[in-house]
Amino acid sequence: MGKLIFINDDSYIKHAMEFSELVRNNEVTHGIIAYCLEDGTIEYRILGVEHSTYIVGLMEKVKIEIINESTKWEN
């Protein structure tokens, strides 16, 4: 379903560019980009805001997947 992008090596740039290409090619219908800047500021961008209930559902699905995946990266 998703990819976890770790920023402890240079591969995160490749993954960000892959996502950017999906957006550029109109392959993304809805999405959420959330990130934290070095100064602690939390930023986010929402794609496809016409359907806020879908965005909330998407956030919940991603949250559940991250919780399930987190057991893999804690060990």
Q: Which two tokens stand for residue 46?
A: 């929402």
What pLDDT sits at residue 1?
54
Domain boundary assignment for the chain: 11-74
Is the Cβ–Cβ distance between 7 and 15 less than 8 Å?
Answer: no
* pLDDT at site 43: 94
Report the pLDDT value the prediction gives residue 2, as an integer from 0 to 100: 65
Q: Is the dihedral of CA 63, 73, 36, 21 positive or negative?
A: negative
Angle at 43 between CA 68 and CA 36, to 5 degrees: 60
More confident: 25 or 58: 25
- Cα–Cα dist 10/30, whole Å: 26
Q: Mind listing the pLDDT tens digit for each residue in 5-55?
A: 667 777 788 888 888 999 999 998 888 888 889 999 999 998 887 778 888
> What is the pLDDT at residue 34?
86
pLDDT of residue 4: 67
Tokens (6 digits) for 22: 């999906």
